[in-house]
């Protein structure tokens, strides 16, 4: 059985994540020059959290690297079927929606902080998150992504 990062769709999606971050911030997700497959593996196994969702009316998570899966305590198959709003508790969802609207408007934001909740109910505060719009090859909005490496359990 293939590892998650070996799936052609995941490799292609990783390219969108990388290209879009570079477009908005000028930064590379990981430094260096890699083949698409090598880059997908490096990002999936990275020590930082990287998550993304699509453009559905109720956006569904479509990517979570290994650190994200561990933090939210879900396997890939479940994580990628979860509406992204469920990563925040009910009282924090309005704040999360405002954040995503700002990102849609501006392209990206940095230094986001907020409380999230794992599937098991474990709560954690994320800090210094970068959130950005994902752009398809034709420049159309393809979703949003977030990355961070600082969190604390509450």
pLDDT at residue 15 above 80? yes
pLDDT at residue 90 above 80? no
Give the phi and the psi of residue 60 in degrees, each rounded to 5.
Answer: -105, 140
- Which positions ≥6 away from 3 have C-beta within 8 Å? 41, 44
More confident residue, 88 or 108: 108
Lowest mean pLDDT segment, chosen from 39-48, 74-83, 88-97: 88-97
User: What's the mean per-residue pLDDT of the chain?
Assistant: 93
pLDDT at residue 100 above 90? no
pLDDT tens readout for residues 16-68: 999 999 999 999 999 999 999 999 999 999 999 999 999 999 999 999 999 99
pLDDT at residue 117 above 90? yes
pLDDT tens readout for residues 124-144: 999 999 999 999 999 999 999
The predicted model scores a pTM of 0.93
Domain that holds residue 92: 4-153
Residue written as tokens 């997700």?
Answer: 29
Based on the structure, what is the number of domains in the chain? 1
Question: CA-CA distance, 8 to 12, in Å (whole number)?
Answer: 6
The count of other CB atoms within 10 Å of the CB of residue 19 is 14
Question: CA-CA distance, 53 to 86, in Å (whole number)?
Answer: 12
Q: For the domain that residue 30 is a member of, what is the CATH number?
A: 3.30.450.20
The count of other CB atoms within 10 Å of the CB of residue 78 is 14
pLDDT tier for residue 9 given thresholds of 50, 70 and 90:
very high
Closest CA to 67 of 55, 59, 76: 76
């Amino acid at each position: 059985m293939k590892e998650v990062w070996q799936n052609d769709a995941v490799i292609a999606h990783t390219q969108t994540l990388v290209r879009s971050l570079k477009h908005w911030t000028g930064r590379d997700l990981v430094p260096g020059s890699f083949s698409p497959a090598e880059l997908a593996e490096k990002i999936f196994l990275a020590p930082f959290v990287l998550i993304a969702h699509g453009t559905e009316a109720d956006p569904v998570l479509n990517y979570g690297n290994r650190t994200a899966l561990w933090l939210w305590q879900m396997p890939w198959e479940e994580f990628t079927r979860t509406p992204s709003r469920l990563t925040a508790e009910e009282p924090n969802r309005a704040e999360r929606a405002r954040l995503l609207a700002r990102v849609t408007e501006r392209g990206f934001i940095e230094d986001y902080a907020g409380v999230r909740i794992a599937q098991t109910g474990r709560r954690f505060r994320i800090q210094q998150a970068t959130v950005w719009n994902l752009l398809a090859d034709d420049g159309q909005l393809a979703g949003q992504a977030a990355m961070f490496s600082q969190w604390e359990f509450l």
